[in-house]
């Protein structure tokens, strides 16, 4: 209970500080949200969306799940995408993985973690699909990093194939889907080379992104 009381105290102190620094902050925030970005990231507590890209509350619409997966049977994720695209008219979907992801590690090494094993099967499918790349990498840490990257690339493809994104493009709505991976070691984001703004751009962007995945050494 003391831990919860501490959180409540932290909230009061934060709210008071924001009020002192910007008396109009909460008044403006309460009016409406008007973000240009949808962040689809991992649930990992070390990967805070707004802080990483330097955005204030109200500027980023956020969905998080274990290993930043986008699949067509997940109505939770799809509902977030639909609301962001159709109602908020966001301009960019950012699919952001991170190096050192525990979910990706479990899928790669076939480590049983419980119910989440069923969810992580999607990441396991990515590993199986790109076994030709992963099997060339001897160092376990680098192989893990490569699967984090490959997983992001495949989730971008999944998002682009969704009816929500396809319909937005069909009606001429400007919408880009991007793939990034965040580093816990230095706080920097690496682009995966896959940025898609139209159906015809997807395959060339996918092929380019795969060509950028290093078979050895670190990504530069």
User: Among all residues, which ones are annotated catalytic?
Assistant: 42, 44, 46, 98, 101
Residues 98 and 47 sit within 8 Å (Cβ to Cβ): yes
Cα 131 from Cα 126, distance rounded (Å):
8
Residues 84 and 61 sit within 8 Å (Cβ to Cβ): yes
- Residue 111: how many other CB atoms lie within 10 Å: 11
Q: Is 118 buried (19+), middle (13-18) or exposed (0-12) by CB count in 10 A? A: exposed
- CA 81 to chain centroid, in Å, comes to 12
Count of positions (residues) in the chain:
220
Residues 107 and 124 sit within 8 Å (Cβ to Cβ): yes
């Amino acid at each position: 209970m003391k831990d919860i009381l501490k959180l409540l105290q932290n909230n009061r102190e934060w709210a008071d500080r924001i009020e002192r620094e910007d008396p109009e902050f909460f008044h403006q925030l309460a009016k409406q949200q008007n973000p240009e970005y949808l962040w689809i990231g991992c649930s990992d507590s070390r990967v805070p969306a707004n802080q990483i890209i330097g955005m204030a509350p109200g500027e980023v619409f956020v969905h998080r799940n274990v290993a930043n997966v986008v699949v067509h049977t997940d109505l939770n994720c799809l509902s977030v995408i639909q609301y962001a695209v159709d109602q908020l008219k966001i301009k960019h979907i950012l699919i952001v993985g991170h190096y050192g992801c525990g979910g990706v590690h479990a899928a790669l090494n076939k480590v049983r973690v419980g119910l989440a094993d069923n969810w992580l099967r999607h990441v396991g499918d990515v590993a199986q699909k790109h076994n030709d790349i992963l099997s060339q990498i001897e160092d376990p840490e680098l192989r893990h990093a490569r699967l984090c990257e490959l997983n992001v690339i495949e989730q971008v493809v999944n998002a682009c194939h969704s009816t929500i994104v396809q319909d937005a493009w069909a009606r001429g709505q400007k919408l880009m889907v991007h793939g990034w991976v965040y580093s816990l070691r230095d706080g920097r984001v690496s682009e995966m080379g896959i940025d898609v703004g139209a159906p015809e751009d997807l395959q060339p962007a996918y092929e380019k992104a795969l060509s950028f995945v290093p078979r050895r050494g670190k990504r530069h």
